[in-house]
Chains A and B, each alone.
Chain A
Amino acid sequence: MSGVAGSIGPGVPTMAGIKLPLIDNIWRVRGAVPIDPALSAEEAFARIDPLLRTTGTAVAQEAGTLTYSKHNPAAQDKLATFTRGRLWVERAGAGAVLRFDLFSHALLACFLAPLLFLGFAQAAIALNAWEASNAETSEKSAKKEDEKPKPVKQLNPVDVFLGAPAPEDPSKKKDEKKDEGRHSPEEAYFMAGLFAVIYLVGRWLEPWLLRRRLRAALALPTAS
């Protein structure tokens, strides 16, 4: 394995020689689930094998460590969020745990997505400013249009009978949004906020689901 999740050991995580003691928690998930101490590493890996036997997943075992990497996993792949990972068995006293150290493109992308949408919000503001700089010419043409009084629309008698509210007089309408421009940054702000929430939910939910799935797989005897 290479890249961010490449050099993983019990010590400090590194990326290409750079120490990343905290920041990599954004995209990396580390933890452990207890296993039956009687299980060997190979037996434990055999039990979680069904989780890894999916389209686009490459798995390798070496010296008691299982590494996998996924290329564009299927939507229903149980480990789809974690595109690369390393798992190994650690024994302490009478107990044993299966440790994992996984890397997620999806979590990293969701963490960065708000920046993209904040960029779109800035683009909307910049476009409004750019359009406002051309306002003189457009205002002239707008005034021409405004000179024609718009007729008040009438409802069809059927709708009057059924009691639908009558349309407003368009000439009374205030031009409230005149100064705001036609591009609203609000949608982009909303999306930035939504992705911040999606990230936080995913950072908690996905490791939780992972532990649950690993525990369930380890509890089942290996299918021969």
Chain B
Amino acid sequence: MAGVQVGKRIIGADAPVTVGWENIGRVEGGPIKQFVFTWFQPVMLFAAIGFWYYAPNWLAVASTAIAIRLGWLILLLALEWVNPRYESWQLTWKEFATDAFYVGMGMTLVGMIDAYIGDGAIIRAVQGAFDWDKFSWFTGLPLLVQAVLISMIFDFGQYWMHRAMHNWYPLWLTHAPHHYITQLNINKGAVGNPVELFLIGLGIGGLFDFLPRAFLLAGAIGMTVGIYQHINVRFNTPRWWRFIFNTTEHHSVHHSRDYEATRSNYSGTWIIWDRMFGTCVDGEAELLGMEDGRRMDIAETMVFPFREGWRSTKAALARRFGGGAGAAHLEPARLEPAE
């Protein structure tokens, strides 16, 4: 495969990737379908912002956000059913059940651990140690500015954590299972080893003081923008949207089987971070995964970082101290940071 040069890199030499916006798929169907799947994303973003901006205090609480999110997920699942981006990504019962398991792990086990060693606990410890005052002037900014700042600061942290995961082997081991997904669906963002889910959830947003409503607004931006990165729905995404925001198209390039393509589009919500730091590749891909699309089951996902870490350590120690022919069989499978 020839691939396409993007900057200094050749994208699509190992597996098919459509580079650029000229040749990506469009919504097929009648005028109503065209209209709905062209305007759905921006309308929902502005509706969510409007709701959280004006909702009275008794309604603007976390439990409302959880209820809305649940209904929203059901709606997006329906959209996947009605207008899939690729038939080869169609959600099956087993895939849905598998994804639900990872979502559940994130909601329960990871959440419980996070309460003790997550970013909230770390920030409290740092602030306690140095007796820093919070950046309280932030609360005087207009709400939408605060919300965009929260969202962008969190995404900035995610961008670098994600990029580090693709470039530093120990972190890559935690992230690799997520790259064994062979199709994108709405809950696929939760698929991965719990260590990774914990690491990617770390943020520095808690250092700053924002109004509670600004957090809810930032959540609304995440819910109506970041969520699409793993969706299997064909949208005619507006040009301004895909310039600023991450899209399912960008993220499918990131999950492609092409090694160079996976080393792009690291951000969660704001693709503008990738544009700034030179890692953005516009386009889309259908063929996803690692090792020719081998699916990784739940059991292997849970042990993978530890198993491969142990094998690599053993091999490294054998090379350093053992040497000789005996060390050859300890060489781990070649698992380079692929994304």
B92 and A76 within 8 A (CB): yes
| Contact partner, B143, options A127, A164, A206, Cβ 8 Å | A164
A198 and B143 within 8 A (CB): no
For B56, list chain A residues within 8 Å (CB). Answer: 165
Map CB proximity to A onto B279-317 as digits: 1 under 8 Å, 0 otherwise. 000000000000001111110000000000000000000
B96 located at the interface, meaning its Cβ lies under 8 Å from any Cβ of chain A in the complex:
yes
For B100, list chain A residues within 8 Å (CB). Answer: 191, 194-195, 198
| Contact partner, A156, options B97, B107, B111, B143, Cβ 8 Å | B143
For B92, list chain A residues within 8 Å (CB). Answer: 75-76, 80-81
- Closest CB-CB distance, B182 to chain A, in whole Å? 5
Given the complex of chains A and B, what is the CA–CA distance between A127 and B116 in angstroms?
11
- Closest CB-CB distance, B77 to chain A, in whole Å? 13
Known: A75-B182, A194-B104. A124 touches B112 (CB 8 A): yes
Most buried by A among B93, B142, B143, B212: B93
For A205, list chain B residues within 8 Å (CB). Answer: 93
Q: Count residues on chain B whose CB falls below 8 Å from chain A CBs.
A: 40
Map CB proximity to A onto B87-101 as digits: 1 under 8 Å, 0 otherwise. 010101111110011
Most buried by B among A191, A195, A206: A191
For B95, list chain A residues within 8 Å (CB). Answer: 75
Given the complex of chains A and B, what is the CA–CA distance between A81 and B94 in angstroms?
6
For B108, list chain A residues within 8 Å (CB). Answer: 117, 120-121, 124, 187-188, 191
B109 located at the interface, meaning its Cβ lies under 8 Å from any Cβ of chain A in the complex:
yes
A-B contact number at CB 8 A: 106
A73 located at the interface, meaning its Cβ lies under 8 Å from any Cβ of chain B in the complex:
yes
A168 and B57 within 8 A (CB): yes
| Contact partner, A191, options B107, B294, B297, Cβ 8 Å | B107
Map CB proximity to A onto B139-168 as digits: 1 under 8 Å, 0 otherwise. 111110000000000000000000000000
Given the complex of chains A and B, what is the CA–CA distance between A182 and B212 in angstroms?
18
B213 located at the interface, meaning its Cβ lies under 8 Å from any Cβ of chain A in the complex:
yes
| Contact partner, B142, options A117, A159, A191, Cβ 8 Å | A159
A127 and B112 within 8 A (CB): yes
Known: A164-B54, A182-B115. A81 touches B109 (CB 8 A): no
For A96, list chain B residues within 8 Å (CB). Answer: none
Given the complex of chains A and B, what is the CA–CA distance between A92 and B207 in angstroms?
75
Given the complex of chains A and B, what is the CA–CA distance between A80 and B79 in angstroms?
24
Within 8 A of B (CB), among A147-163: 153-156, 158-159, 162-163
A76 and B183 within 8 A (CB): yes
Closest residue of chain B to A154 (Cβ to Cβ) is B140
B211 and A153 within 8 A (CB): yes
A11 located at the interface, meaning its Cβ lies under 8 Å from any Cβ of chain B in the complex:
no
Given the complex of chains A and B, what is the CA–CA distance between A77 and B108 in angstroms?
30
Given the complex of chains A and B, what is the CA–CA distance between A75 and B115 in angstroms?
34
For A206, list chain B residues within 8 Å (CB). Answer: 93-94
For B48, list chain A residues within 8 Å (CB). Answer: none
Known: A120-B109, A188-B108. A113 touches B295 (CB 8 A): no
| Contact partner, B107, options A123, A168, A187, Cβ 8 Å | A187
B60 located at the interface, meaning its Cβ lies under 8 Å from any Cβ of chain A in the complex:
yes
For A156, list chain B residues within 8 Å (CB). Answer: 140-143
For A183, list chain B residues within 8 Å (CB). Answer: 111-112, 115
- Closest CB-CB distance, B252 to chain A, in whole Å? 15
Within 8 A of A (CB), among B94-132: 94-97, 100-101, 103-104, 107-109, 111-112, 115
B141 and A198 within 8 A (CB): no
Closest residue of chain B to A162 (Cβ to Cβ) is B53
Map CB proximity to B onto A114-146 as digits: 1 under 8 Å, 0 otherwise. 000100110110010000000000000000000
B93 and A81 within 8 A (CB): yes
A202 located at the interface, meaning its Cβ lies under 8 Å from any Cβ of chain B in the complex:
yes
Q: Can you pick out 6 interface pairs between chain A and chain B where the beta carbons lie within 8 Å of each other?
A: A75-B182, A76-B92, A81-B94, A165-B55, A167-B212, A195-B97
Pick the 8 closest A-B CB pairs, nearest first.
A191-B104, A120-B108, A187-B107, A156-B142, A158-B142, A188-B108, A202-B93, A159-B143
